[in-house]
Chains A and B, each alone.
Chain A
Amino acid sequence: DSGVTQTPKHLITATGQRVTLRCSPRSGDLSVYWYQQSLDQGLQFLIQYYNGEERAKGNILERFSAQQFPDLHSELNLSSLELGDSALYFCASSVGSSSGNTIYFGEGSWLTVV
């Protein structure tokens, strides 16, 4: 158990809908990351927050947004969902935000868009 908690574990939704994925980082970790894992794209970095502020942005679609709250939990919002958004979404956390800080991954949220 990495200590990173993600909910829900599975969800199925229709195209055009909006979903919110929730993440609680490990106790004491200030940095939260979101990654998307799919068969064709592999593990792709989406976005990073550090202590409530956006720290780095990757291949995140404009239909997607995220935030980190004062209690350090984070949410990833996915809107106008398309079939291609079906993937495993990981939240991860680390103590710091600099290169070399060990990143711990949650078990992921499986999103299926039908």
Chain B
Amino acid sequence: QQQVKQSPQSLIVQKGGIPIINCAYENTAFDYFPWYQQFPGKGPALLIAIRPDVSEKKEGRFTISFNKSAKQFSLHIMDSQPGDSATYFCAASKEAAGNKLTFGGGTRVLVKP
């Protein structure tokens, strides 16, 4: 049972473009939605996170948009750089399950110079 669905699986943009990654969840009990960035050979690292009572959050060039009624959230990478080339994972957790993260399938982003 895939509780968090992520799309697309891969994305190629030119430098300066805005990659957009979308996630949809099923369980309305989820109350925390982080995004993780993973480089080859490294572990995932927290990029930005949002709670469902907020519709948008920005940290630097990264923005999360959250639509509670549609049970969807997305990551936008503004002014993307080649160094942003990585795999991005959305995730969700709920208080009743402790801090267990349910991850989406991941999106491999390539930013061309």
The answer to whether A98 touches B89 (Cβ under 8 A) is no
Q: Which residue of A lies closest to B30 (CB)?
A: A99
Interface magnitude class on chain B: 20 to 34
Closest 10 CB pairs of A and B: A105-B43, A43-B103, A99-B95, A99-B93, A56-B98, A100-B32, A99-B32, A56-B100, A105-B44, A42-B105
Name the contact of A103 in the complex, choosing from B99, B102, B104 (C-beta under 8 A). Answer: B99
> How distant is A9 from chain B, measured CB to nearest CB, in Å?
10
13 contacts between A and B (CB under 8 A): A42-B105, A43-B89, A48-B99, A94-B99, A96-B99, A99-B32, A99-B97, A100-B31, A100-B51, A102-B34, A103-B34, A103-B46, A104-B46
Q: Interface readout for A42-80 with B: 1 if CB under 8 Å, 0 if not?
A: 111100101000011010000000000000000000000
